[in-house]
Amino acid sequence: MTRRRVHPKSKRGSIGHHGARTLALALPLLLGACTAAADQTVPDTSVAVTPERQSLDTKLDALEARYATRIGVTVINPATGQIYQHRGDERFALCSTFKTYAAAEVLRRTRAGTSSLDKPVLVEPGDLVENSPVTAAAVGTPMTLRQIAEAALTRSDNTAGNYLLEEIGGPPAITSLAREIGDDSTRLDRWETELNSALRGDPRDTSTPNELADGYRALLLGDALGSPERAQLVDWMRASKTSDKRIRAGLPDGWTAAAKSGAGRFGTVNDAGVAWDQDGNPLVLAILTDSLTDQEDAPGNNQVVADTTAAVVEGMTSP
């Protein structure tokens, strides 16, 4: 398996699959990991790794061993162009991080006049799926698309996620949006809750830290959305409750975040978004994790995401 180091950003300001320093890491427990890309190396075309980045690599190696967890992380500092990547090109189950893309596509269609956040959607009992705290309380009554998007992003309501997918044309619309905004990896194939199966070696409903970071950067900081739509998406994600024990738990005092979590089988625990320091300087983070035990019912671990956040934020902001 490989992990790529800090290097200048390329490809229209995106990470993509281009040259980076790699380091093979032998972990026999990962023989059943999500992708064969883990066994490949990338030609060494970057500058030498600084001692600070080597120290960060060591910290993440230790976290993986401590928690028996595979950690994929990409951090982008838009101000400096610096990127840190650990298993950046390896595939992980996407899980509910897709909901950011789904809500963004609804916002794009609202701006185009083909949809409306005021559109009512009747919550039918037969539509309910597991982990739907908001829509379950609204069964038999209409919710607006605005309320549905808010439920999907702030409470990770799965039925709300399916309603967003229904509005935009199903899972293929997520893949199409990803490609349009420069994310060459993310794909969605199924609906909630089947998309959380996270089966080893299954490419369906997966992404990579590198490309998911690109997509989130485009939506939350770039021009993939109009200014009002971008502000609305950020507001929803700032209000997320499900990120409190993940990225937000690892941030220094005074930092804030707009993030979207995800979780699935095989101990999959994800969080991705943008964090801002006290002066409003952003860092884009995509942290995707799963268990190295290869057990389908392995419990997820919020703490490994929080500890990874703390490590990479310190590593990327230290003088």
User: Which of 10, 46, 55, 96 is flagged as catalytic?
Assistant: 96
Distance between CA 71 and CA 64 in Å, rounded?
Answer: 6
Residue 96 a catalytic site member:
yes
Please tell me whether residue 77 adopts helix, strand or coil conformation: coil
One DSSP character per residue, 138-149 reads TTTSEEEHHHHH
The tokens describing 318, both together, are: 């230290």
Residues 121/142, Cβ–Cβ less than 8 Å: yes
Residues 311/63, Cβ–Cβ less than 8 Å: yes
One DSSP character per residue, 94-148 reads -GGGHHHHHHHHHHHHHHHTS--TT-EEE--GGG--SS-HHHHTTTTSEEEHHHH
> Exposed, middle or buried: residue 256 (CB in 10 Å: 0-12, 13-18, 19+)?
middle
Among candidate residues 204, 268, 275, the one with its CA nearest the CA of residue 240: 275
Would you name the residues annotated as active-site residues?
A: 96
